[in-house]
Chains A and B, each alone.
Chain A
Amino acid sequence: MFVLKLVLKNALRHKLRTFLTILGIAIAVMSFGFLRTVVTAWSYGVEASAANRMITRASVSFIFPLPYAYKDQIARVPGVKTVSYANWFQGVYKDAADFKNFFPRMAIDPETYFDAYPEFIVTPEDLKAFRAERNACLVGRKIANEHGFKVGDIITVEGDIYPGRWDFVVRGFYTGRDASTDETQMLFHWKYLDERIKELQPSREGNVGWYILIVDDPARMTEVARTIDAMYLNSRAGTKTETEREFQQGFVSMSSAIIDSLEVVSVIIIGIILLVLANTIVMAARERTTEYAVLKTIGFSPLHIIGLIAGESLLIAGIGGALGLALTFPIAGGFASMFPTFFPVFNVEIITIILAALVAGLAGVVAALFPTIRTLRTSIAEGLRAIG
C-alpha cells in the first residue's frame, strides 16, 4: 500500500521527465505494434494458401506465359483433380497515383476458377450471370464496398501489359470464406482477353499466365510436380510446378529483404524502449540514493526498495505500453485505409498485442534491474553520505 503510494508520488516528481518517458515508450511500442502488423499482413498470403493447391508456371520466371494447350495435358496427369488458369492483367484504373485504384485485376477461367479457390464464395446467381457474358467481371467484396461497385457498372481499364481500352461490366461479387481471404481482386473472362489480344497481337494468342492445380492427395504433390515438369523439360516453354505455399513464399521472399529490415527495426525499437526507460529509472534511483538509505535506516527491507524502483519502472512502462497499444489500432487502421489493396488483410493480431505488452513489461523489469542492484549494494553509511 505504502510502496504503491510512494511509487505514484515518485513518478510524479518530475512530471515532464515522466511524461516524456511515457510518450517515448508509447511511440516506440506503437511503432513496434505497427511494424509487427505489417509483417503479419505481408505473410498472410502464404498462410492463406491451401494445402492441396499447386501452381504451374514458366520455369524461367512467372512473368513468362505458358501455352493454353498444356491445360488438357496437365489434367491427364494422375493425381490432378482440377486444372484452372489465370493471367495477370493489371492495367490502369482511373488515377493510378491513388492506391485505392491499385487492386489486382486478373483474367480467369469462369468454369473452373472457383472450384480451385473454394475460399472465394460466389452465389450461384452471380456465377451464372458472370459466366453468361463475355466481358463480365466479378469483384471482391472489399473492393466493391470501397468503390461502390454495383451490378451493371462498367469498369474501364487502360491496358498496359495488354494494350487498349477495356470495358468490364460488373455481374457479381465474391466474398472471402476466411479472414485471410483476399477480397480485393477483380476477375474477368480469360477468353475475352485472349480473343481481343488475338486481334491486336496475334503472337500472344493462347497464353496462360499460370495454371492452378487441385490434387486429390496432398501427399502426391511432389510426384505430380515432378511428372508435369518432366513432361515439358525439352519443350520451348518449360514449367515449374510447386505447391501454392512455395509459390507464395517465392512471391513474398522477393520482398523478404524489406520484411527482414522491418524485423530488425522492431528489435531496435525494443532496445530504444529499454534505453528510454532505463535512462529515467537510473537517474531517478541515483537522485534518491539518500532517501533509500534513510528508508533502510528506519528499517525498511530490500523488498521495499525493490518494490519502489521496479514499481516505478513498471508503472511507467505499463502506462507507456498501454498508450502505445491504444495508438497502434488507429495508426494501423489509418494505414490500411490509405493502402486498401496493398495488404488484402491488415489486422492488429492478438499475438502482436501480447508481444508488444510483453516487450513493455520486460523493459520495465530490465530497466529496474541495475538501479535496484546498485541501490541494494550501496551500504546505508555510503547512501547517507551521498548527500550533496
Chain B
Amino acid sequence: MIEVRNVSKSYHRDSLLVPVLNDISITVPEGEFMALMGPSGSGKTTLLNLIAGIDKPDKGSIKVNGTDISTLNESGLAKWRANNVGFIFQFYNLLPVLTAFENVELPLLLTNLSKKQRREHVEASLKLVGLADRMKHYPKQLSGGQEQRVAIARALVTDPTVLVADEPTGDLDRVSASEVMTLLDRLNKEFKKTIVMVTHDPRAAEKAHQVKHLDKGELT
C-alpha cells in the first residue's frame, strides 16, 4: 500500500520557486494498477518520482508498505529502491554497452546472489517478457518494443512489490504499445505487482483499474 499524505513539492528555477505539487494526498492499495493522467508539466513525473523514492517531498509524508520513505537519507533511499521498486521509463534507458542479459542483471549485482542464481533470475525474467532468445542482443539490435520489454524484465528481476512506469508506451507504435500494456496487465493480475503508471495514452489507461487526473499540481 502506498500512502501519500499532504505532499507538496516545488523546484528552484534560478531564484524563482516553482510550485509543482500542491498538498497532494493519494492512496494506492496493494495490487492496484493506477494510471496518472494530465497535461504536460502538471507534475505527473514529479509525483511518480516521490512515490518511487527518487526525489523527496518538501512537505508531507509518503509511506510505502509501512515505511515512511520521506524520512530516509540518500543511501537509505537507494537501498530501499533496490529492494522495493522496479522502474520503467519512456525511453527504456537501457545501457547501450550492455547486452539484454547484462542490462537485466544490473539490479542483481547489488544483491549477494551467486552468479548462477543471477543467471537463473535473469533468464526467468527475460522469458516472462518473451525475450529469452534475445539475451545476447545489444539494445540497438532490438526494436523499441523489445527494448521496453527488456527494461520491464530489468524492473522485475529483483521481484519488487511496486512498479512505477513513466509513459511506458510514449515512444512506441500501437502494436508494441499494446504488447507492453498486456505485459503490465499480466504482471498486475498474475504476479500481484502494484503498478503506478503515468500516461498520456487513453488506450493504455484503459488497462488500469483506476485513473487519476493531475492538473496544475492538484488531483482532480
Identify the A interface with B (CB < 8 A): 2, 6, 9-10, 12-13, 290-291, 294-301, 379-381, 384-385, 387
In the complex, which residue of chain A has the Cβ closest to the Cβ of B166?
Answer: A384
**Interchain CB contact under 8 A, A295 and B55:** no
CA distance A37 to B54 in the complex (A): 54
CB distance from B166 to the nearest CB of A (A): 8
B33 at the interface (CB under 8 A from A): no
CA distance A290 to B166 in the complex (A): 15
Most chain B beta carbons < 10 A, residue from A2, A10, A301, A381: A381
Give the 9 A-B residue pairs with the shortest CB-CB distance, closest first: A299-B82, A9-B97, A294-B93, A381-B55, A380-B54, A299-B78, A298-B107, A2-B109, A299-B110
In the complex, which residue of chain B has the Cβ closest to the Cβ of A291?
Answer: B95
**Interchain CB contact under 8 A, A9 and B98:** yes
Q: Which residues of B contact A387 (CB under 8 A)?
A: 91
Q: Which residues of A contact B109 (CB under 8 A)?
A: 2
**Interchain CB contact under 8 A, B93 and A380:** no
CA distance A13 to B78 in the complex (A): 28
Chain A contact surface mostly: helix
Q: Which residues of B contact A294 (CB under 8 A)?
A: 87, 89, 93, 95
**Interchain CB contact under 8 A, B55 and A299:** no
Identify the B interface with A (CB < 8 A): 45-46, 49, 52, 54-55, 75, 78-79, 81-82, 87, 89, 91, 93, 95-98, 106-107, 109-110, 154
Q: Which residues of B contact A9 (CB under 8 A)?
A: 97-98
Apart from the given pairs A298-B87, A299-B81, 4 other A-B contacts in the complex at a CB distance below 8 Å: A298-B81, A298-B107, A299-B78, A300-B78
Q: Given A298-B81, A301-B75, A387-B91 in contact, is the A380-B110 Cβ separation under 8 Å? A: no
**Interchain CB contact under 8 A, B82 and A298:** yes
Contact partner of B54 (CB less than 8 A), chosen from A2, A301, A381, is A381
Q: Which residues of A contact B89 (CB under 8 A)?
A: 294, 384
Q: Which residues of B contact A291 (CB under 8 A)?
A: 93, 95
In the complex, which residue of chain A has the Cβ closest to the Cβ of B110?
Answer: A299
In the complex, which residue of chain B has the Cβ closest to the Cβ of A9?
Answer: B97
Could you list 9 examples of A-B contacts with CB < 8 Å? A6-B97, A9-B98, A12-B97, A13-B97, A297-B52, A297-B81, A300-B110, A381-B46, A384-B54
Q: Which residues of A contact B93 (CB under 8 A)?
A: 290-291, 294, 384
Q: Given A6-B97, A291-B95 in contact, is the A298-B55 Cβ separation under 8 Å? A: no
CA distance A99 to B190 in the complex (A): 87
Contact partner of B106 (CB less than 8 A), chosen from A10, A298, A384, A385, is A298
CA distance A6 to B102 in the complex (A): 10
CB distance from B47 to the nearest CB of A (A): 11
CA distance A384 to B110 in the complex (A): 21
**Interchain CB contact under 8 A, A298 and B110:** yes
Q: Which residues of B contact A6 (CB under 8 A)?
A: 95, 97-98
Q: Which residues of A contact B110 (CB under 8 A)?
A: 298-300
Q: Which residues of A contact B79 (CB under 8 A)?
A: 299
CB distance from A11 to the nearest CB of B (A): 10
In the complex, which residue of chain B has the Cβ closest to the Cβ of A1?
Answer: B109
CB distance from B140 to the nearest CB of A (A): 12
Q: Which residues of A contact B45 (CB under 8 A)?
A: 381, 385
In the complex, which residue of chain A has the Cβ closest to the Cβ of B11?
Answer: A381
CB distance from A316 to the nearest CB of B (A): 16
In the complex, which residue of chain A has the Cβ closest to the Cβ of B89?
Answer: A384
CA distance A300 to B82 in the complex (A): 8
**Interchain CB contact under 8 A, B97 and A380:** no
CA distance A294 to B91 in the complex (A): 11
CA distance A258 to B154 in the complex (A): 62
CA distance A301 to B75 in the complex (A): 7
CA distance A298 to B87 in the complex (A): 8
CA distance A174 to B54 in the complex (A): 78
Most chain A beta carbons < 10 A, residue from B52, B55, B154: B55
Contact partner of A301 (CB less than 8 A), chosen from B78, B97, B98, B107, is B78
CA distance A168 to B104 in the complex (A): 83
Q: Which residues of A contact B107 (CB under 8 A)?
A: 298-299
CA distance A380 to B81 in the complex (A): 12
CA distance A318 to B21 in the complex (A): 48
Q: Which residues of A contact B55 (CB under 8 A)?
A: 379-381
CA distance A381 to B12 in the complex (A): 13
Q: Which residues of B contact A384 (CB under 8 A)?
A: 54, 89, 93
CA distance A215 to B79 in the complex (A): 77
CA distance A108 to B154 in the complex (A): 85
CA distance A384 to B49 in the complex (A): 10
CB distance from A4 to the nearest CB of B (A): 12
CB distance from B10 to the nearest CB of A (A): 13
CA distance A13 to B138 in the complex (A): 13
CB distance from B101 to the nearest CB of A (A): 13
Q: Which residues of A contact B91 (CB under 8 A)?
A: 387
Q: Which residues of A contact B78 (CB under 8 A)?
A: 296, 299-301
CB distance from A292 to the nearest CB of B (A): 10
CB distance from A378 to the nearest CB of B (A): 12
In the complex, which residue of chain A has the Cβ closest to the Cβ of B97?
Answer: A9
CA distance A234 to B106 in the complex (A): 89
